[in-house]
């Protein structure tokens, strides 16, 4: 243990603790910009500088470990002057036209400027002499260099957390900027649109491409029938942006708010999550059958999930040799879109031309996914607009809805029912768990052998998780699986995904089924979720997801009555002709930069 | 206090037989080698002036058998050109210094990080390195030197940015601590020394610590190679005993009309004529990595400073706020004052900013921009304003 004093108060902390953390223990908050709980220390913004009594230079509190007998001042004259200067300097190269900024009111730099009441700028406006462009080419992410403060959170996110390396630092000195491969637009590079950079950007330099106006226009157009679907993770995150605490489940309030906003049908992506499980579970079993019974060497195993569009684009760029391994199932969002303009339109007797489908996603990559040319199997664009959880919160605020006072409401019928298995799609390991609940039962006629159907080995936040289930006493049809140890692996965050796929490639990992979610923690930690994010917040959202699962009367996808109805009235059977037409697709190889 | 008059010394370029010295050293205990260097009082000749023996001691005390010696040959300080000469004339002495350091701290590999613009030295150095490796083999000392080239960034002369560059990454300084002796190149204990420093260690072990210690002053032992340039009839490289005053230096090298001397390059201090007599060149006065630039009365100190700031605004790595934005503000700031867009009072704000840059920047680059700025503004205010 190390003893030191901070502003005259003694504190004892373990070795390796930073001054920043030690100060927190004494309830002193030292302002930070480049520091982020999820990332390695950078120490480059210098806003967290503190003084060591008798020392010459100031230290960055975020990057300096404590030492015995240190006497630290966090608010001395030297510190205050330096800190104010740093904020002034950042503002002098920052486009501080705050009222025109998407992040107005949610900007960390703005907050600091406010705290230090930086009114008249001392320094010269450097931006006036600089050229910059706003990159609006990506359907998911908008990058505005004039608002960038070079804290490199996005770079560290893209490189360390996601292992994607779409963003990096380019040039030096006054020309230094955060850039992409040869300054190409975000739409043309290896970017997976995961949006994790947005979640960590302290300013408005990286924000989602917003489609709020388009959605309002559709809602307010009397000729349109606007259907909204909400992803599983939205209901455990939305509250955070509307004044509630992390981990509060707001499913019923959210539905009520969506109805008040004027959506004509409020439906659930969880419904198509259940559908995905039935299709994907059957796909896995059919691949296993082809490989084991038919000895077909061309059957690609392990099969990987395809729900996460960030992951899909990542594999297209990085591991194209594994594209045959990706499940042909579309993601729940896209299955929903395809069915909304066919099955739902027919059942409700609405002209599909007049239907506008909007999805609320915890994700920015979903915006890209909806725009993919593969996603038009209904004859129209299957999903017209994708909004993030944050955008929905903004809509609720715009409409003046007092969210916390909403009476809980229920999803509309036909594509609004779901099981607990659909809900847990929102957490890492959830798709695997939901698939196992269904596949095991198809094969054996019995429930998975885990207490309360909770398959604990695939839950939690370990980067890569592995589990296996021994299949015994199969039904006659599946006798070829008798005694097989069904092995699976789960990864979340693309760095972990890369590690897992490398292990598969090298032959170090032999499994049948792999679930990969592009974002840390799965969709609940998605790039469209409320800001800030950190491990604790993600854990609280995960706990809420599993609570929601336990609260559901139906916990297995194949028992969802509306799914059964869908097959009976429309699709016929899993992996049938209609399914292939509407619910399955293939992906393509992309360049590696 | 009596200053030491300008006295030429011939240690760095003295032709010696490295094999003989190395024969003597190979049988010495690492502790004795380090003690000799400590006793000599040698401080780093790159400019920062950290005691060399102590640095070796720290690196030697680190556990583990994977350690590195790095020779910082990224000579980039404006007005410095001595390392180039040393590497051209006596490269074997540099290698020998690295080998001694390797013996002292227990390293098997050494890296020379050569300034990219010195590419013309590469073939010669490689040839000499081959000979050196044969000598090492003959002596039974397991040590190998690898040559790495920079690509022209000034910041890569900063030790931790230099490591990043050798590792194949963008040359950006790291947070300290940890210091290089604990975690340097490839995150292993590393001893990084300037070209000149390494050669001095050879001469200290050849002639003994006391020979070196008797040169110079209490705070600045020994001699130093100076790169003299600017308004002087005698531009060139000189090895001089430390401890002389700027006055004596100007007496020797000036053109009779010297109004200021920039000691230590763009990152150093500007000494005006009125301070020549009472300013010692050395760690007790103005330290220098070797750059000595003389300016006569025909020079505009505004232009001199503009030039330096232009350099820094370009050569900052851009990572930390005080340095990246601060350099630009100082540059644009003096332009604005010159053009009358800001009042002369604005210079006071800029001096305060320079202090913040000194206190809050991440590395030595940002921390030293204020040196030249403040010393020029302080002494030549009228030239900046009018």
ipTM of the complex: 0.94
CB of A41 within 8 Å of a chain B CB? The answer is yes
CB of A15 within 8 Å of a chain B CB? The answer is no
* Residue range of the domain that includes A475: 210-593
Alpha-carbon span A437 to A444, nearest angstrom: 11
Query: Could you tell me the pLDDT band of residue B159, with boundaries at 50, 70 and 90?
Result: very high
- Please choose, from the candidates A467, A153, A434, A130, the residue with its C-alpha nearest in 3D space to the C-alpha of residue A271: A434
Per the structure, the count of domains in chain A is 3
Which one is catalytic: A93, A240, A248, A280? A280
Across the interface, of A81, A122, A176, the residue whose CB is closest to B324 is A176
For A185-227, give the DSSP string: -GGGSS-----HHHHH-SSSSEEEPP-HHHHHHHHT-TT-EEE
The side-by-side arrangement of strands in the sheet containing A265-268 is A265-268, A225-230, A355-361, A385-388
A523 is catalytic: yes
User: Do A41 and A136 belong together in one domain?
Assistant: no
Taking residues B284-296, report their average pLDDT: 94
Task: Say what the pLDDT of residue B38 is.
Answer: 97
Alpha-carbon span A138 to A386, nearest angstrom: 14
CA-based nearest residue in chain A for residue B324: A173
User: Do A176 and A50 belong together in one domain?
Assistant: no
CATH numeric code, B18-213:
3.40.50.11540
Whether A309 is in a domain gets the answer: yes
Q: Which letter, b or e, does each residue of A253-286 get, where b requires 16 or more Cβ atoms within 10 Å of its Cβ?
A: bbbbbbbebebbbbbbbbbbbbbbbbbbbbbbbe
Which one is catalytic: A51, A283, A441, A515? A283
CA-based nearest residue in chain A for residue B351: A85
Q: Across the interface, do A123 and B353 touch by the CB < 8 Å criterion? A: yes
Beta-bridge mates of residue B110: B69, B145
Q: Which helix (H) or strand (E) holds A229?
A: strand A225-230
Q: Across the interface, do A174 and B358 touch by the CB < 8 Å criterion? A: no
Query: CB–CB of B86/B124 below 8 Å?
Result: no
Query: CB–CB of A329/A283 below 8 Å?
Result: yes
For B234, residues 6+ apart whose C-beta sits below 8 A from its C-beta are: B228, B252, B253
3-state secondary structure string across A396-413: HHHCCCCHHHCCCCCCCC
Query: Could you tell me the pLDDT band of residue B3, with boundaries at 50, 70 and 90?
Result: low
Q: Across the interface, do B316 and A173 touch by the CB < 8 Å criterion? A: yes
Task: Locate all alpha helices (DSSP H) within A70-186, ordered by sequence.
Answer: 77-92, 108-115, 153-156
A208 is catalytic: no
Query: CB–CB of A219/A159 below 8 Å?
Result: no
Q: Which CATH number fits domain B301-385: 1.20.1440.230, 1.10.10.10, 3.40.50.620, 3.40.47.10?
A: 1.20.1440.230
A280 is catalytic: yes
B320: which chain A residues are within 8 Å (Cβ-Cβ)? 43-46
User: Do A357 and A372 belong together in one domain?
Assistant: yes
A142: distance to nearest CA of chain B, Å?
23
B326: distance to nearest CA of chain A, Å?
7
Name residues 147-166 of chain A within 8 A of B (Cβ): 149-150, 152
Answer whether residue B4 shows pLDDT above 70: no
Q: Across the interface, do B314 and A172 touch by the CB < 8 Å criterion? A: yes
User: Do A300 and A389 belong together in one domain?
Assistant: yes
CB of A44 within 8 Å of a chain B CB? The answer is yes
Torsion sign over Cα A49, A52, A58, A59: negative
Query: Could you tell me the pLDDT band of residue B1, with boundaries at 50, 70 and 90?
Result: very low
Provide φ and ψ at A495, rounded to 5°.
-60, -45
A53: distance to nearest CA of chain B, Å?
13
Alpha-carbon span A306 to A587, nearest angstrom: 10
Q: How far is CA A316 from CA A301, A303, A325, A591, in A?
A: 17, 15, 12, 8
Taking residues B2-26, report their average pLDDT: 87
Residue finishing a domain among A186, A208, A230 = A208
Query: CB–CB of A373/A239 below 8 Å?
Result: no
A382 half-sphere exposure, CB direction, 13 A CA radius:
29
Which one is catalytic: A147, A366, A465, A556? A366
Residue finishing a domain among A188, A208, A228 = A208
Task: Say what the pLDDT of residue A130 is.
Answer: 83
3-state secondary structure string across chain B: CCCCCCCECCCCCCCCCHHHHHHHHHCCCHHHHHHHHHHHCCECCCCCCCEHHHHHHHHHHCCCCCCEEEEEECCCCCCCCHHHHHHHHCHHHHHHHHHHHHHHHCCCEEEEEECHHHHHHHHHHHHHHHHHHHHHHHHCCCCEEEEEECCCCHHHHCHHHHHHHHCCCCCCCCCCCCCCCCCCHHHCCEEEEEHHHHHHHHHHHHHCHHHHHCCECCCCECEEEEEEEECCCCCEEEEEECCCEHHHHHHHHCCCCEEEEEECHHHCEEEEHHHCCCCEECCCCECCCCEEEEEECCCCHHHHHHHHHHHHHHHCCCCCHHHHHHHHHHHHHHHHHHHCCCCCCHHHHHHHHHHHHHHHCCCHHHHHHHHHHHHHHHHCHHHHHC
Whether A96 is in a domain gets the answer: no
Query: CB–CB of A185/A312 below 8 Å?
Result: no
User: Do A386 and A493 belong together in one domain?
Assistant: yes
Q: Across the interface, do B367 and A57 touch by the CB < 8 Å criterion? A: yes
Residue finishing a domain among A58, A75, A92 = A75
A82: which chain B residues are within 8 Å (Cβ-Cβ)? 322, 356, 359-360
B312: which chain A residues are within 8 Å (Cβ-Cβ)? 173
A124: which chain B residues are within 8 Å (Cβ-Cβ)? 329, 332-333, 336, 342
A332: distance to nearest CA of chain B, Å?
41
Q: Across the interface, do A60 and B315 touch by the CB < 8 Å criterion? A: no
User: Do A412 and A525 belong together in one domain?
Assistant: yes
User: Do A323 and A379 belong together in one domain?
Assistant: yes
Provide φ and ψ at B174, rounded to 5°.
-95, 170
CATH of the domain at A35: 3.10.20.740
B250 half-sphere exposure, CB direction, 13 A CA radius:
26
Q: Residue A121 corresponds to which tokens in the numbers above?
A: 């700028």
Torsion sign over Cα A448, A454, A456, A459: positive
- Please choose, from the candidates B299, B270, B253, the residue with its C-alpha nearest in 3D space to the C-alpha of residue B378: B270
Taking residues B196-214, report their average pLDDT: 95
Number of Cβ pairs < 8 A linking chain A and chain B: 119
> Where are the domains positioned within chain B?
18-213, 223-296, 301-385
Q: How far is CA B378 from CA A34, A248, B370, B383, in A?
A: 34, 61, 11, 11
Query: CB–CB of A562/A415 below 8 Å?
Result: yes
Query: CB–CB of B14/B203 below 8 Å?
Result: yes
A92: which chain B residues are within 8 Å (Cβ-Cβ)? 325, 329
User: Do A307 and A434 belong together in one domain?
Assistant: yes
Whether A114 is in a domain gets the answer: no
| Kind of pairing between the strands at A206-208 and A303-304 | unpaired
Answer whether residue B203 shows pLDDT above 60: yes
Q: How far is CA A512 from CA A313, A437, A443, B271, in A?
A: 22, 16, 15, 74
CATH numeric code, B223-296:
3.10.20.600
Q: Residue A284 corresponds to which tokens in the numbers above?
A: 């896995």
B353: which chain A residues are within 8 Å (Cβ-Cβ)? 85, 89, 123
Task: Say what the pLDDT of residue A118 is.
Answer: 76
Alpha-carbon span A312 to A208, nearest angstrom: 19
CATH of the domain at A197: 3.30.70.20
Whether A100 is in a domain gets the answer: no
A93 is catalytic: no
User: Do A354 and A480 belong together in one domain?
Assistant: yes
Residues of chain A falling short of pLDDT 50? none
Which one is catalytic: A93, A240, A316, A369? A369
B152: which chain A residues are within 8 Å (Cβ-Cβ)? none
What's the distance, CA A115 to chain centroid? 31
Interior angle at CA A40, CA A38 and CA A43, nearest 5: 120
Taking residues B257-269, report their average pLDDT: 96
Which one is catalytic: A327, A331, A418, A557? A327
User: Do A452 and A326 belong together in one domain?
Assistant: yes
Across the interface, of A45, A58, A152, the residue whose CB is closest to B359 is A58
Q: Which helix (H) or strand (E) holds A353?
A: none
Whether A101 is in a domain gets the answer: no
B189: distance to nearest CA of chain A, Å?
18
User: Do A189 and A331 belong together in one domain?
Assistant: no
User: Do A494 and A565 belong together in one domain?
Assistant: yes
For B108, residues 6+ apart whose C-beta sits below 8 A from its C-beta are: B65, B66, B67, B102, B142, B143, B144
Question: Residue B307 CB: number of other CB atoms within 10 A?
Answer: 11
Whether A95 is in a domain gets the answer: no
Alpha-carbon span A36 to A56, nearest angstrom: 27
């Amino acid at each position: 243990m190390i003893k030191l004093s901070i502003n005259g108060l003694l504190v004892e902390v373990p070795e390796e603790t930073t001054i920043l953390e030690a100060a927190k223990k004494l309830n002193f908050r030292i302002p930070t910009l480049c520091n982020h709980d999820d990332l390695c220390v950078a120490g480059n913004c210098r806003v967290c500088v503190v003084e060591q009594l008798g020392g010459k230079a100031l230290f960055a509190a975020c990057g300096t470990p404590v030492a015995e007998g240190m006497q630290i001042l966090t608010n001395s004259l030297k510190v205050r002057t330096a800190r104010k200067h740093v904020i002034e300097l950042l503002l002098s190269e920052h486009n501080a036209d705050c009222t025109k900024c998407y992040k107005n009111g949610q900007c960390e730099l703005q907050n600091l400027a406010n705290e230090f009441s930086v009114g008249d700028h001392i320094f010269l406006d450097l931006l006036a002499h600089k050229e910059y462009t706003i990159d609006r080419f990506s359907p998911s992410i908008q990058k505005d260099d004039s608002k960038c403060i070079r804290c490199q959170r996005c770079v560290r996110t893209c490189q360390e957390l996601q292992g994607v390396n779409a963003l990096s630092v380019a040039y030096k000195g006054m020309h230094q900027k955060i850039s992409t491969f040869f300054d190409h637009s975000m739409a043309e590079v290896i970017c997976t649109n995961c949006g994790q950079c947005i979640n960590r950007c302290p300013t408005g330099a990286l924000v989602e491409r917003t489609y709020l106006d388009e959605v309002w226009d559709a809602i307010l157009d009397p000729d349109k029938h606007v259907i909204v679907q909400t992803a599983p993770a939205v209901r455990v995150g939305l509250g955070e942006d509307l004044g509630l605490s992390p981990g509060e489940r707001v499913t019923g309030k959210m539905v009520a708010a969506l109805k008040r906003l004027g959506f004509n049908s409020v439906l659930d992506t969880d419904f198509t999550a259940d559908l995905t499980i039935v299709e994907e579970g059957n796909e896995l079993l059919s691949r296993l059958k082809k490989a084991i019974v038919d000895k077909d060497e061309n059957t690609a195993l392990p099969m990987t999930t395809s729900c996460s569009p960030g992951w899909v684009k990542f594999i297209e760029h990085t591991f194209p040799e594994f594209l045959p391994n990706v499940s042909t199932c579309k993601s729940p969002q896209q299955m929903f879109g395809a069915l909304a303009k066919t099955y739902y339109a027919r059942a409700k007797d609405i002209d599909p031309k007049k239907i506008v489908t909007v999805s609320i996603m915890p994700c920015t990559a979903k915006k890209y996914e909806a725009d993919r040319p593969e996603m038009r199997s209904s004859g129209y664009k299957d999903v017209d607009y994708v909004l993030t959880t944050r955008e929905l919160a903004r809509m609720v605020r715009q409409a003046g809805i007092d969210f916390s006072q909403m009476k809980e409401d229920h999803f509309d019928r036909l594509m609004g029912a779901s099981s607990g298995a659909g809900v847990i799609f929102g957490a890492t390991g959830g798709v695997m768990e939901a698939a196992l609940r269904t596949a095991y039962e198809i094969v054996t006629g019995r429930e998975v052998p885990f207490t309360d159907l909770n398959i604990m080995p695939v839950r939690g936040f370990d980067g890569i998780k592995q589990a296996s289930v021994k299949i015994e006493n199969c039904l006659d049809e599946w006798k070829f699986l008798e005694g097989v140890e069904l092995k699976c692996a789960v990864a979340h965050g693309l760095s972990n995904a890369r590690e897992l796929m490398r292990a598969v490639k090298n032959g170090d990992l032999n499994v049948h089924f792999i679930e990969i979610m592009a974002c840390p923690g799965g969709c609940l930690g998605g790039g469209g979720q409320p800001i800030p994010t950190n491990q604790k917040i993600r854990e609280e959202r995960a706990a809420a997801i599993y609570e929601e699962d336990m609260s559901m009367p139906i916990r297995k996808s194949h028992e969802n009555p509306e799914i059964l109805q869908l097959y009976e009235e429309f699709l016929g059977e899993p992996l049938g002709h209609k399914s292939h037409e509407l619910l399955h697709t293939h992906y393509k190889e992309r360049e590696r930069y | 206090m009596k200053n030491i008059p300008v006295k030429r010394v011939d240690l760095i370029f003295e032709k010696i037989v490295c094999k003989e010295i190395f024969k003597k050293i190979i049988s010495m205990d690492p502790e004795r080698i380090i003690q000799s260097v400590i006793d000599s009082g040698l401080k780093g000749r790159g400019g920062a002036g950290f005691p060399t023996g102590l640095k070796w001691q720290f690196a030697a005390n680190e556990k583990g058998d994977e350690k590195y010696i790095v020779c910082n040959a990224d000579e980039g300080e404006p007005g410095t050109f001595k390392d180039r000469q040393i590497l051209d004339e006596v490269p074997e002495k540099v290698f020998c210094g690295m080998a001694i350091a390797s013996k002292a701290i227990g390293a098997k590999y050494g890296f020379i990080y050569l300034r990219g613009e010195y590419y013309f030295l590469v073939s010669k150095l490689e040839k000499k390195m081959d000979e050196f490796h044969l000598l090492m083999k003959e002596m039974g000392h397991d040590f190998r030197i690898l040559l790495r080239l920079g690509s022209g960034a000034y910041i890569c002369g900063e030790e931790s940015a230099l490591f990043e560059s050798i590792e194949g990454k963008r040359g950006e300084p790291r947070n300290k601590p940890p210091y290089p002796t604990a975690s340097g190149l490839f995150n292993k204990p590393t001893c990084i020394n300037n070209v000149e420093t390494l050669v001095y260690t050879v001469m200290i072990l050849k002639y003994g610590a006391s020979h070196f210690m008797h040169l110079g002053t209490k705070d600045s032992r020994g001699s130093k190679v100076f790169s003299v340039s600017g308004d002087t009839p005698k531009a060139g490289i000189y090895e001089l005993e430390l401890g002389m005053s700027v006055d004596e230096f100007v007496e020797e090298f000036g053109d009779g009309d010297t109004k200021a001397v920039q000691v230590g390059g763009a990152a150093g201090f500007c000494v005006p004529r009125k301070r020549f007599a009472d300013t010692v060149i050395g760690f007790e006065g103005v330290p220098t990595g070797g750059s000595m630039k003389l300016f006569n009365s025909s020079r505009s100190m505004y232009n001199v400073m503009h030039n330096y700031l232009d350099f820094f605004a370009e050569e900052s790595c851009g990572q930390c706020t005080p340095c990246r934005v601060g350099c630009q503000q100082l540059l644009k700031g003096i332009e604005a004052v010159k053009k009358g867009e800001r009042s002369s009072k604005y210079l006071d704000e800029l001096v305060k900013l320079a202090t913040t840059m000194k206190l809050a920047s991440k590395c030595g680059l940002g921390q030293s921009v204020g040196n030249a700025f403040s010393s020029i503004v302080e002494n030549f205010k009228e030239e900046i304003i009018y």
